[in-house]
Chain A
């Protein structure tokens, strides 16, 4: 199938601002699904609320546009009740880690076979540019006119600590790399997290003098480096990209199947 067969073209053009990184992430994600030759009927995309969440409307999968922060909780119900389905959960940074932080760490702890994609533009875009728990200190936002004093989460470290069995990071600039990481995440058995740094020129770039979309993409290139690269070794302050965790751990739905087998045996004996 062609990439466009995975899209609901009647809903284009999409609603994201010119220069937004989210369309690029949609591109990387659809390419990943196409290259894996997945059956559309076996994919459920569950999203929350915010700019990121609108991604589920554009893909021709079973799509569930839910409540702010709750996408992983809905997704857990979908996955546990039908473990044969591939469940993809794209979320924004505020969606995934402010209002949805509890669901994020618990989905990771269970190691349920869901792919979480954190589309991190470090801002609440849809509500007009408020800072998020991934903005970090020293950032200007509409609710931080004097700059933020809040520390930020490191998504990779948080996901690792919470028990995710696949953790990776890339950026909207590195589209092909994002596609490759997403393919691995989707194929991984267990809870996988892919953080993709995205740009919001409308709200973040303008207020923080990072320029337009081109300027912000340039920063994604120069501020990051591949894990194990010489660039990262020479400049440990750069944001590392790549796969941070990839391990086999008991998966929740498979473990529950063992409980069913045990309960049925107990009942019949």
Chain B
């Protein structure tokens, strides 16, 4: 097999995944530590007949990709904390109008301008609730470049499948670290293309009437069907409506189409989890330290394992409950004040045995950081 082997940054692995998934259009604004995604795509997209545009701000970038998606293109933007904040209004628009798009957020320290060149995982809750109003969202993450590639492909696929924005929550360490990536052959990974309507020309097309399987076939702007798209509550033609029945049904649809598919969306990995008495729940770059520690202690006979989450929203509550059911203690390893900890505590039967191993100073959490807390929990002293 003639696989392409590359040595590159995580941000570049994300770009390779986007190209593999068929990205046609990128709009962005420079921001550390995600800028390499824009830089690489400004080079690669025109080589493939695609379009890259550097917009006047983060808000405009998010709006531009939504406009491009409506013409039938696969679209993406990339940013970091402050830019992610600015994009939230238009992310909500994409949720409401059901526009497929992918937003990569390479996380840095916050709040505000925070710690631009250092690592953090502080945007987990912002990915879930950053935009106003009830909605659901898909957010994926990864701890190594092979998975950055795969999750990026998955993000594009899920955006099309569920007609929704999908967030890629990477972090500064993953974004800037260099390691090996084996680019899969064409056809090796599934690619989901835009589902277009089969309604013929001059027949009434309902852009917001779900099929029996819940999916909503689209029609490209510029094509045969002229319809309305709005951020207001709308009927099946896309026209504004404040009819209570329509409002109620649309909001439930927006939430249910994602939350009812949590099993299909869930992505995770197990590391030494078989028979583990102590379970580390982690994701992104902090999972690397958790995996390192678990493998190290396993070699010394300790029953420690890692549940690595690759999809954070919708949160895989059932999975976490099931995997952690027999653990003596669960440590959530993350680089924030406990954003995933809250979810894990809510998921398990015994939340008193869930602990936070975190680091929030801009430095990558190390295996020793986790080990120190683990020893205390195990009653082996400080």
Contacts and interface: CB of A to CB of B under 8 A. Distances in A.
Contact of A70 (B71, B90, B227): B90
B64 A80 contact: yes
Given A62-B227, A67-B90, A259-B46, A80 B53 contact: yes
Contacts of A57: 228, 230, 239-240
Interface residues of A, number: 40
Contacts of B66: 74, 77
A2 interface: no
B8 interface: no
Contacts of B223: 41
Given A78-B68, A85-B221, A85-B222, A267 B47 contact: yes
B228 A103 contact: no
B228 A78 contact: no
Interface stretch (B54-62, B108-116, B140-148): B54-62
The listed residue with most B CB atoms (<10 A of its CB), out of A41, A74, A264, is A74
Contacts of B224: 41
Interface residues of B, number: 42
A76 B53 contact: yes
B226 A63 contact: yes
The listed residue with most B CB atoms (<10 A of its CB), out of A81, A84, A103, A266, is A81
A77 B89 CA distance: 17
Interface of B: 24-25, 27, 43, 46-47, 49, 51, 53, 55-57, 59-61, 63-71, 73, 75, 89-90, 93, 221-224, 226-232, 239-240
Contacts of A102: 56-57, 60
B63 A74 contact: yes
B100 to A, nearest CB: 13
A242 B240 CA distance: 36
Given A11-B239, A62-B221, 11 more contacts: A63-B227, A65-B240, A73-B67, A76-B67, A78-B71, A82-B71, A84-B222, A102-B57, A102-B60, A103-B56, A103-B60
A74 B89 CA distance: 13
Contacts of B73: 81
Interface of A: 11, 40-42, 44, 46, 56-57, 60-67, 70, 73-82, 84-85, 102-103, 106, 256, 259-260, 262-264, 266-267
A43 B195 CA distance: 23
9 contacts: A62-B70, A64-B67, A64-B221, A64-B228, A67-B63, A77-B68, A81-B25, A259-B46, A263-B43
A77 B61 CA distance: 9
